Chains A and B, each alone.
Chain A
């Protein structure tokens, strides 16, 4: 399967590629070769670092290419900042728009007694019917490391509680995102990546 992994030069892709290969996929990396997005059977956008770094997606023409691929029905998975990019934007870089597939915006955790960033293993409460998170039992743990997060909305596929409930996963048809790192979340994370690789459009869609 042609899994195109998007590189926007803000961090290390090795762990994501390793996990995809472990599951039998053949990931190809692009930092601007639009043909790889046009031919993709799956697109993964791993993201770390600052939201501002996603400006590279606009500068290289990847943003419209990804938008077109999503419209064709290609399954898309955003990880961490890659999930946040699916929203309208983030207060981390207010001038930098996201894809806007989900209308809400991401914001920083409220300052208080708890530390920000949120780092470590936290549990998922999965919404019934999520295909990305099929087979994930209530309370299974995944690994997070982030200071910004998406709000809980009708597209939220799983919530996690830290300071407040936030969107740990978002899902609408072929567009999916996870705030945590499935490639670093043990057997639970691999199960979620496998669900993404096995995802097929349903007849009613």
Chain B
């Protein structure tokens, strides 16, 4: 039976793993290669490394960090942040990533999705969407808006419509981050995740708000997520993917165990 994936996310800033609330107030959380290896050993189904400073400071993804992190990692490894062209993506793949995640650059120039997909296959292209509900709209979920630059800048685009376009252009997965929930540990935005997951045929990875086992069970259930991203709950030794999955299995969620 296909299992729900638990993805460990490493937000990286200046070559170090960091965690902040809603992308500000960053706290150091270790070395990316060490952290990735630990998560894989402790049962994470996949590793995502997001260079959160890359876009707004105009930096290239830290290829050295990617190379070091990929070296002894034998689970899927996705890298995002600062990928603006198919050439940028090619360098990240050459350094050892299996997938790249594109966000702002794809919104600016959606053909980027087609270009990476053509060269490396749809399975290698993850389109990351930073979403905020629109509290003024008649339907805040349906009309949720896409933001860029780490959640700083509104784009005027609707989340569901952009996810559909990404799929049509050849994205292999959608990484949906709720900016409203991110860092709060108060739970995923299940309504928004379900709206996107039902609108596309490709997997949707839910992100933002993980705090308890119940939050994961909820987003896999009514949120219809295929995978869920976790960062803060794994840092500082609070939990491991394995213990999270053991609890999810008890709650009836199909997960990869033993792992």
Contacts and interface: CB of A to CB of B under 8 A. Distances in A.
B256 A11 contact: no
Nearest to A141: B256
B248 to A, nearest CB: 13
A12 B227 CA distance: 24
Interface in B66-82: 70-72, 74-76
B202 interface: yes
A11 B124 CA distance: 9
B59 interface: no
Nearest to B74: A186
Given A122-B2, A122-B3, A186 B40 contact: yes
B201 interface: yes
Interface residues of A, number: 34
Contact of A120 (B40, B124, B226): B226
Interface in A177-195: 181, 183-187, 189-190
Contacts of A186: 40, 74-75, 259
B203 A19 contact: no
Given A120-B5, A121-B3, A19 B74 contact: yes
Listed residue (B5, B70, B96, B123) with the most chain A CB atoms within 10 angstroms of its CB: B123
Given A115-B203, A119-B123, A120-B226, A184 B3 contact: no
A169 interface: no
A15 B226 contact: no
B143 interface: no
Chain B interface category by residue count: 20 to 34
A190 B123 CA distance: 21
Interface in B52-109: 70-72, 74-76, 93-96, 98
Contacts of A50: 121
Interface of B: 1-5, 40, 45, 70-72, 74-76, 93-96, 98, 119-124, 172-173, 201-203, 226-227, 256, 259
19 contacts: A12-B98, A12-B120, A14-B93, A15-B70, A22-B72, A48-B123, A117-B122, A117-B172, A117-B202, A121-B2, A121-B3, A121-B5, A121-B45, A141-B256, A146-B123, A162-B2, A181-B76, A184-B75, A185-B75
Interface of A: 10-12, 14-15, 18-19, 22, 48-50, 115-123, 141, 143, 145-146, 161-162, 181, 183-187, 189-190
Which 9 pairs show the lowest CB-CB distances between chains A and B? A48-B121, A49-B121, A145-B123, A12-B93, A121-B256, A141-B256, A119-B203, A122-B2, A121-B3
